[in-house]
Amino acid sequence: MNDLSTLTRRFFLKAAALAGAGAALDPMRALARSSTAPAAAMHKAASLPISIASANGLEATKRAVAMMRDGKDTLDAVIAGVNLVENDPEDDTVGYGGLPNEDGVVELDSCVMHGPTMRGAGVAALRNIKNPSLVAQRVMERTDHVLLVGEGALRFARAHGFREENLLTDASREKWLSWKEHLSKQDDWLPPHGEEDRDIGALFGVEGRPTGTINCLGLNDRAEISGVTTTSGLAFKIPGRVGDSPILGAGLYVDGSIGAAGSTGRGEANLLSLASFLIVERMRAGDAPTDACLQACQRIVAQTKMKRLLSEDGMPAFNVNFYALNVRGEFGGASIWSGRRFAVNEGGESRLVDSAYLFER
């Protein structure tokens, strides 16, 4: 039995004693109910419209709600919200000023999804354009495609009038140079390895290398819902690396009749689980948003087998964070590890809300 199986069994036994025989039929649900995970809070919007986002979305959610109150489309509203972060040179996780790949080039990813029409699109490994969310929206509106990448995405953006510019700020350049100057095994080039190998990769503890992303979801008073996720991706990645952020079903998923979900954190883990799609499907089956997000966290924990991604005691050595909003105005968020928060705005000033979690640090 591997460390993760032992860990899961330990929490299962603890939770079964607390929750009774019913929990024993589902060890992963028992894991979420163990004493390390708080009871899932049921958050319900006091009024609509509402917007929720990752913790860096305080201003984004405020702008999104203001625009929805003015009658703007939900997708236009959430994109305008994340544009504030994409355009901010002080934020090194998204857009202009984002941390570059290992060659010192900023590559951006984004996807959008419009609940009323069930359309969506994304762009990946896009260079020189600071608003990939707007380019993704243009792909959705002006092509028959769902995903454009690399040079093709850049040529499409140029054709639609997007201006090219150098996205690497002096501050981000200095961080990249420091990383290159201290390289050892803390990069993404791995030797041949198997499930039992440890200490060969680039994880820097639970929070890991900067992964910066913003996800923003919006619901108006007509129960119309949309979402966007945008990022500069994993700092110092191999050029061309694409995480979950531009992939519909992973970094974002919206069903106009059910709700929306998005993510931040370790994109590779989310790509292997397509967790945003899972969360929306769990809400379709009746789960509250927070419970659905916890289910996604549980799925990722169960799928993580490689020792290089686990601590010595079998715990995930990374974090993934999820955010969900349904068409009834119920919302929630959850992470593998404690200490995460997300932004909520129902009008006026935005606030931060604690995320549920599986494990306490």
- Tokens 């379709």 found at: 284
d(CA 87, CA 264): 19
In Å, what is the CA distance from 43 to each residue of 170, 175, 230, 355?
A: 41, 38, 25, 11
Note the residue count of the chain: 361
213 given a catalytic annotation: yes
Q: Which two tokens stand for residue 154?
A: 């850049």
Residue type, 308: R
What the block records as the tokens of 17 is 């004693």
Q: Of the candidates 88, 99, 32, 63, which has an alpha carbon nearest to the alpha carbon of residue 343?
A: 63
φ, ψ for residue 136, nearest 5 deg: -60, -40
Number of Cα atoms under 13 Å in the Cβ half of residue 269: 29
Which candidate in 211, 213, 264, 304 is catalytic?
A: 213
Question: For the chain, what is the radius of gyration of the CA atoms?
Answer: 20
Crossing angle of helices 132-142 and 74-86, rounded to 10°: 150
Q: What dihedral angle (degrees, nearest 10) is formed by the CA atoms of 239, 245, 249, 255? A: -150
List helix spans (H) across 248-288: 267-271, 275-284
**H helix or E strand, kind and range, residue 278:** helix 275-284
Give the whole-angstrom CA distance, residue 110 versus residue 219.
20
If you ran DSSP here, which 8-state letter would residue 196 be given? T
Catalytic residue list: 213
